[in-house]
A and B are shown apart, each in its own frame.
Chain A
């Protein structure tokens, strides 16, 4: 028996690795062993089930595996049957008079006057586009009737995108991972009621007096780390609303001594709000004073989502941060937009200010917590 996977499963294994699924040597060996033991024999469905049980851990991974098997060419027997069937339908069609396709794909997209330049990101079809290229076009634009407005987009054929449409919202980061992050942010001190027995002191007491009256107690060790999060809930942050919700949900799991999430719109002005819908306002300085000495985390795209540059806003924000630095020994700004989109926007200006600005991904979140803990 060989100690390698058959090409079909090896291909799948590589595909999973290429998609960042952390399958390892052990998973590979398990696949070999399972085949040796006789699992996954018979048809493709059995093989698919085996792969799913061995390597699929999340819905996303199971979807990857399912897709791998879906796009495989059919086995030979089925393939021959399929070709026969296609030939039959072709013969049948040859007898009929030619019928025009239901939605003719227009090779060129005329840009009507008054509308903006054609859709960005679409390769502009040249006037001499051949019919084969037209068939490949994802979206074609039906010619606008005279006097009408924008052209009507039509899907000429199924989009040749190599992936499924994922319509379930996928979290940027799971509440669990965030909770784990919060737990890294620790400041362990003893305070509160004396509830824990101090063994060393109890023994000392016993030696000193010769008898033990009662155990000596000390306060339990607990986390005294405090955190204030200021999150931007302006419309440009709408794509990250679920992330803000995750942030709010993860805070109670983080076992921090005190953590609070407040919202603002565009920049922290005089008032901060208790909900993302900007209800229940409270005076900004009141909130800041209450949390003095804690760590400050600001979450905002700072204009980089829309690519806006507003020097006034940048200056005001930097002033606010300067002021906040007096009350908060550690502060970090998280910007959910990728870093390359900051340049030339308000975010770019703020990033050069006193508070470090980091994008939201696993390594940078770790770095953010590190800064909040005081490691500059």
Chain B
């Protein structure tokens, strides 16, 4: 069984800017205790990425974030071999360092996290953006938390271990802790079945049925100096956003406003000195629309619907 003792229990309520639903916290704990990566999916703007920082903050451990790009390869998360610099150095006959490979190899964040074996949260953000081979290449690493530096010749194994502290085969120290691995996905591409099998899965939903939790989330995310924002404004905005979402769902909107839009909106309402009661769901002004909706068709659809109702 994986060594999971160094991690305390995650409650989901102790982070300064984040509130996790109880069942999300349970699954996070399950992933930590079983030593499995956690795949996080959910609507955009519901705090998939923020969940990682909340875990790190609450458990008092470090956070490593790796944002995946469409050109990312699994190797890029582990180490980097600077071949160009080596070629450049090799032009100088006096430079003996260039005769070896290991001075040009650097560990990347995930490689570091594996080698250190310290309690840590590793976030692999937006894994679905990468090429379809990417998750498969990561499988073995996430399973065993070991990897090989394939660019390092076997002959340099010992020299590298002496000079850099890691050999060709990189793994954590005896009795070290496995990092907590979170992987977020926006479902742009389907992930391979073996990869899904290795992960635990949690879906973050917008807590529309829990206005108290939403109000709490807003309160925690407002800047400290905005403390004078009244509770009426927050609860009013939460109630109206839920109605806007309901209507948006009826209209089949592409991107419904979620938690991050809600926080922005409360901030804007406060700056403008408006009251939540003054906001009518049927007549959102241009500023509100700009904050809440992200797709042009959504704005147009919503406007057409409210115009329709006004005419009746």
Contact = CB atoms under 8 A, between A and B. Distances in A.
A30 B36 contact: yes
Interface in B33-87: 33-34, 36
A39 B190 contact: no
Contacts of B34: 30, 33-34
A53 B30 contact: yes
A34 B33 contact: yes
B269 interface: no
Given A30-B36, A57-B201, A39 B26 contact: yes
A53 B203 CA distance: 9
Interface string B234-270: 0000000000000000000000000000000000000
- In the complex, which range does the number of interface residues on chain A fall in? 20 to 34
A176 interface: yes
A23 B197 CA distance: 8
B196 A179 contact: no
Interface in A155-186: 174-176, 179-180
Nearest to A202: B87
B200 interface: yes
Interface in A64-81: none
Given A33-B34, A175-B190, A49 B23 contact: yes
B197 A27 contact: yes
A39 B23 CA distance: 11
Contacts, number: 49
Given A176-B132, A179-B132, A39 B91 contact: no
Contacts of A179: 132
A212 B88 CA distance: 12
A241 B222 CA distance: 50
B197 A176 contact: no
Nearest to A46: B26
B200 A53 contact: yes
Given A53-B30, A176-B192, A212-B91, A33 B1 contact: yes
B27 interface: yes
Q: Report which residue of B34, B189, B196 has the largest number of chain A beta carbons within 10 angstroms of its beta carbon.
A: B34
Nearest to A57: B196
A176 B200 contact: no
A39 B197 contact: no
B193 interface: yes
B202 A53 contact: yes
Interface residues of B, number: 20
Interface string B180-204: 0000000001101100110011100
Contacts of A39: 26, 29-30, 33
Contacts of A56: 201
Contacts of B200: 53-54
B33 A37 contact: yes
Contact of B201 (A23, A46, A53): A53
Given A33-B34, A174-B190, A175-B190, A53 B197 contact: no
A180 B132 contact: yes
B197 A34 contact: no
Nearest to B200: A53
B1 A22 contact: no
A24 interface: yes
Nearest to B31: A53
B201 A176 contact: no
Nearest to B143: A26
A37 B201 CA distance: 18
B132 A22 contact: no
A216 B91 CA distance: 16
A57 B194 CA distance: 10
Given A30-B36, A174-B190, A176-B189, A57 B30 contact: no
Contacts of B196: 57-58
B197 A24 contact: yes
A176 B190 contact: yes
Q: Report which residue of B189, B196, B201, B202 has the largest number of chain A beta carbons within 10 angstroms of its beta carbon.
A: B201
Contact of A49 (B26, B29, B33, B36): B26
Interface of B: 1, 23, 26-27, 29-30, 33-34, 36, 91, 132, 189-190, 192-193, 196-197, 200-202
Given A30-B36, A53-B201, 16 more contacts: A22-B193, A27-B197, A33-B33, A34-B30, A34-B33, A39-B29, A39-B30, A49-B26, A49-B27, A53-B26, A53-B27, A53-B202, A57-B196, A174-B190, A175-B190, A180-B132
Interface of A: 22-24, 27, 30, 33-34, 37, 39, 46, 49-50, 53-54, 56-58, 174-176, 179-180, 212, 253
10 contacts: A22-B197, A24-B197, A33-B34, A49-B26, A49-B27, A53-B200, A56-B201, A176-B132, A176-B192, A179-B132
